Amino acid sequence: MEIIPFYGDEPLTANSVQIRINPADRKRARELLAATADIVKVDDEQTFTLARHSLGQLKALLEEIEAGKKSVKKPFDKVLEAIGEAAREIWEPVMGEHRRIQELTNVYVAKLEAARKEEERRHREETRRQQQEYDRKISEARAAQAKAEEEARAALDETARVKAKADAQAQLLVAANEQLAKEIALEAANMFEGKPKGLVPGGRVDHNYEFTLVDLPKTLKAGALRLLRWEVDHRACQDACQAQLKIDPNSEPTLPGITVVRKLNVNVKARS
């Protein structure tokens, strides 16, 4: 998608725009910096007066520079606004259609996920049922084996003893076969439960959580501060300090859990 700015009939590029500073203003700034460079300390009335005068000149020049930046940016701001409007003409209908198709796709994939979960649930249930059946057969075979071994020990003649031992051996084999079948079935079930095939060919399904703070006191009471991001509201803190000073102008303002440091800053009027 190409969006091309034009100046007249020619494409506008960064290389075709040059930003220049008025030579007289550049010269004036250099002269002011050369003059203020001689101020290396303020320790008496004379140097204090000179420093205040220089601060005013520097402040005035900074204000001029800021005003110049704002002035030269105005036409570019209009260009950026025009670019946004041109792109929005195509962006909005395309984005609207993207959202619509996205929602349709999300609904369908949600159904696919629900169907897959139900299939997995049925498979787990069937596997559990099969394992219980194998366990039942193994238990019955071992019980029959134990009974046959007891009969062999209690047999009064050799024929009955041999038959009981054969029965016990047969039940032992049945239990072993059922145990093997159980292990094979479990291995097959675990293979089925491997990494599932993606539901979106050429894409993926993201499950992103969204969070909304609805009860701040509850979050704080639980001590879950790690779930929140904090920052100082400087204007609110300033208002709180001013309110304290109105009550007691000689006090040092304090704020709960916040360090308050008063920093001196000399502010002079801009001087031409």
The CB-based long-range contact list for 118-121 (8 Å cut-off, 24+ gap) reads 120/193
Phi, psi of 193 (to 5 degrees): -90, 20
Domain ranges of the chain: 19-192
pLDDT tens per residue, range 38-80: 888 989 999 899 999 999 999 999 999 999 999 888 888 888 8
Candidate ranges 16-20, 201-205, 247-251; pick with highest mean pLDDT: 247-251
Measured CA distances, 26 to 23, 65, 196 (Å): 5, 11, 68
The CB-based long-range contact list for 50-59 (8 Å cut-off, 24+ gap) reads 52/266, 52/268, 53/271, 55/266, 55/268, 56/268, 56/269, 56/270, 56/271, 57/32, 57/270, 57/271, 57/272, 58/32, 59/268, 59/269, 59/270, 59/271
Q: pTM for this one?
A: 0.56
> Whose structure tokens read 């703070």?
213
The pLDDT of residue 194 is above 70: no
Neighbours of 103 (CB within 10 A): 10
